Amino acid sequence: MPNEDHRLDPSPPIETPRRGFILAALIGSLVVALAVIAVARRTGSEAAGSPSAPPSSERAAVTSTTVAEREEVVAQLRAILRVRDQAYLERNVDLLRRIYTSDCPCLRGDRGAIKQLLKDNAVWVGASTSVQVRDFEKVNNRLWIVVANFVASPFRIETESGELIRAVKGRNELFRFALTRTTSDRLLLGFAGPVDESD
């Protein structure tokens, strides 16, 4: 995306995936799929050889752990977006280091867009973003993939004195987010990019 469009975009720069990430995601998906198939086969054979299924209390414990984990990851994604909104509204690039991994393409893109706002003496007024989760996948104990509608509100770009530069329309687009747990046990955004729904 050209720099001019990029800095005025209501959901700036969540870049397209790199080949390495795509390969890692494909391999991760394959591993998860194979694990699910193996567990399903083992569960099926155990059920055939045993007179009853596991007690419902055991099944409930597994389900509630999964639900709690999903809620934690989705809540953190929403918190990350709130901090990102704050970084843009305050034009504060330091806030971005709290939410992105150091190699996340979003960090570089958002940092550049905020610096451009400062250079242009421009501010965003009324901008906010949110997500509506459509799919959730745990790749391993340190990586989760969330597919969600990324919703950006309409907002205004103004000069510091309040003069309108541009009114920006709202946006609703399907995105894939990868959240990773760091060694310091923090959940950070490692990647975000639009989903090609034609695939």
- The answer to whether residue 171 is domain-embedded is yes
Q: Average pLDDT per run of 10 along the chain, which is 199 residues long? A: 36 43 40 37 40 44 64 96 96 96 94 96 95 94 95 96 95 96 93 85
- The answer to whether residue 13 is domain-embedded is yes
Q: What is the pLDDT of residue 196?
A: 85
Q: What is the pLDDT of residue 60?
A: 40
Q: Is there a contact between 62 and 43 (Cβ–Cβ < 8 Å)? A: no
Instruction: Please state the pTM of the whole predicted model.
Output: 0.67
| Number of domains within the chain | 1
- The answer to whether residue 199 is domain-embedded is no
- The answer to whether residue 28 is domain-embedded is yes
- The answer to whether residue 103 is domain-embedded is yes
Q: What is the pLDDT of residue 65?
A: 47
Q: Is there a contact between 187 and 76 (Cβ–Cβ < 8 Å)? A: yes
- The answer to whether residue 60 is domain-embedded is yes
CATH number for 140: 3.10.450.50
Range of the domain at 27: 3-194
- The answer to whether residue 79 is domain-embedded is yes
Q: What is the pLDDT of residue 197?
A: 75
